[in-house]
Structure 1
Amino acid sequence: MNLHSMLEARAAEGKLLRVALIGAGKFGSMYLSQARRTPGIHLVAVADLDPARAKAALLGVGWPADRLGAQSLDEARRSGGTFLTDDTPAVIASDAVDIVVDATGSPAAGIAHVLACCKHGKHIVMVNVEADALAGPLLAKKAREAGIVYSLAYGDQPALICEMVDWARTAGFEVVAAGKGTKYLPAYHASTPDTVWQHYGLCAEEAQAGGMNAQMFNSFLDGTKSAIEMAAVSNACGLTPAEDGLAFPPCGVDDLARLLKPRADGGLLTHRGQVEVISCLERDGRPVFRDLRWGVYVTFAAGSDYVRRCFKEYGLVTDASGEYSSMYKPFHLIGLELGVSVASIGLRREPTGAATAWRGDVVATAKRALREGELLDGEGGFTVFGKLMPAAASVAGGYLPLGLAHRVRLRSSVAAGQPLRWSDVDVDARSQAVMFRREMEASLS
């Protein structure tokens, strides 16, 4: 609770946290808008495939143009300015940088960036939850062995859920379930970039005018992003998915304790200690009363008559037995909150969430009947969606991780709704991402 005062002290001493951002898209831009207002922070570099886009993002969120003229990393370090470049390896290797923020969204790039940070001794904030879902447990292990901090990104829902889980356990409560809200109907699993905007109440022209990417927004709708984020939570918090993956039950905040408890006690969970995503829509499309579409939650157990009485005395909403209650946060501010991770890493050497073991995985699942020879197009595309399952079941089934289902060709046909297997696709076995993932799978085989 004193990160801000610690940042102010670092600013007064001139010992700024030197940060480099990789990827100046929406999330990165949101962080940039706040980094310039945060004491104790020096944004040394922004690396992007298009440095002109990075400059436009910085100017668009209020950075003064005269702070963006550094011609090298060393000049940026000396002058207090920011260097714009497309040379990410040089940024990670530079002595001018202490903390790297990966906001690329590319699983393969994320793995490469973490391994480079391990080599060069740089802490890393992993906005790139796609890479974390693909290989986070092994990435976090490599980081610990290298003596650096690997962290989920505060502001994104997984890190906020990790915080709530930690709060509950630190207070002595058993965590029964944790997760987030979203907009979900079963039909959304078949959604494609061509159909996505009708579900958001937009036309394609309106979305294009707003700079909205159809495939990215579709990954939120078709269940893929939820699966990815809950894999990260599962692996970081010691919680496990149900065997059938996410159920997306309709649920408002007043019903969390009633529904997000074990089936044996009248709830919906298959077991205690489960990740689950709740929908803001009833199955007939009606809105859920007091939904949690933008927020996160945790349900927990009292464990004693005394605590049940305390729940009642202090007005907590519980189930009928008084045993189960919940806490929730109604909103998340995405990149606007990312500075909490930067400060936590730089000042305390503590992550805001990181995998501790491999418990949850996201497998590529056919949106429709897929034919031999088709090219898969990955997250949010026309061919597959991501389904959450226990990691042990994924490895035992030989299933293809969602993060590697991009620009690979099918060797066999796959029925709609079926998970794909490694044997169904032609992959480049020599690629760094494939070899790294295979190394992680070997630990469970």
Structure 2
Amino acid sequence: MIYNKEMETLSREEMQKIQLERLKKTVAHAYENVEFHKNSFAQAGIKPEDIQTLDDLQKIPFMKKTDLRENYPFGLFAVGMDQVARIHGSSGTKGKPTVVGYTKKDIENWSEVVARSICLAGGRPGDIFHNAYGYGLFTGGLGLHYGIEQMGAVVVPISGGNTSRQITLIQDFLPRGLSGTPSYILNIVEEMKRLGLDPRESSVEYGIFGAEPWSEEMREQLETELNIKAVDIYGLSEVMGPGISCECHEGQDGLHIAEDHFYAEIVDPKTSEVLPYGEQGELVFTSLTKEAFPVLRYRTGDIASLNPEPCVCGRTSLRMSRIKGRVDDMLIIRGVNVFPTEIESVLLSFKELAPHYQVVIERDGALDRFEVHCELTPEYSELGEDTSKLVKQICHRIKDMLGVSVLLKMVAPYSIQRSESKAIRIVDNRNVAKVSS
């Protein structure tokens, strides 16, 4: 089943015609109802009527996450509270949280794009779907929930955490679909094994995973451990939530963007220059149908590229690559730019290692010291073998593949902290060291 087949197989010209019509309406709506956008346009010396082509979008200044924090809580809403149906927001761990709103129509559109995503993953009406994304202000849980219902599947709103109960319900309810952060799903797999269960024998056939960057090696591990098809879903609350794009199970080669609702660009993170298809840079989104919280050229901070070629599944929608990492998560190790997912790719190529790791940054005098902490699998740890040779092999592979030398620390199984939502891949102790000194 292909959800909304007509919209997903339009020619590029037909899709761009729809996008331009919706862009003009969104620009006018944002300008007329949000002081921030009116001031932004004034500073750029433009007005809504200056946006007559999709290329004219480049005249509009970028939005950044700091703009949301500076207009906390409701300063970027384009409708009154009598029209807002729901509010979501970030955790606010780095200052003021980001707050976004949705009208009833926004919720309906969001449900539709998530329903499309589930169909892309191989879902069908009547499926029982185990939703292990967290519910609450985080958009993952409720975003998937409404899309599952919209598609005609049966949602199990388990949320995150309580891993033993997750396993019980998977055994008893026999879901065909599964969603959650890949790191937490691996925690479930790990616990199944500890209980003497074989994850490959579960009823799950496909999984929709996201909310954190994850590598192809992580996908391979998930598919092998659970005997499923694992696809990547993308979203962020500032633009909508999960469902902005999703991989198809046929190709697993880039995430199909719901282009009738979102316009995507790739820009150079340093120069802000718009880059052509195929080139890697920072992902920028403009909403085309949002009523409560329209966003114009929002810089996501995520690194990706765009591909306009038709997919093997028959869809013609623009595809974005899987997220390589975030601009602010990029590590500069002795002058070389490295993303945690690149380190993950190397680590998961060693069968002796569990899929849990952290990059720990320490201050060593005037320099930064990077340590990669990784776990042995329980099976390999029980052998009691000397790990010095393995450490040398891993360090050599990292040096060969990424061009950097790192200090590698091997730790015992289960010693790296597990997360019930997004995995903590980078532990920066530099400020801690500064305060203690």
TM over 0.5: no
| Bigger RCO of structures 1 and 2 (CA < 8 A, at least 6 apart) | 1
TM-score, normalised with respect to structure 1 = 0.28
TM-score, normalised with respect to structure 2 = 0.29
Structure richer in strand, relative to its length: 2
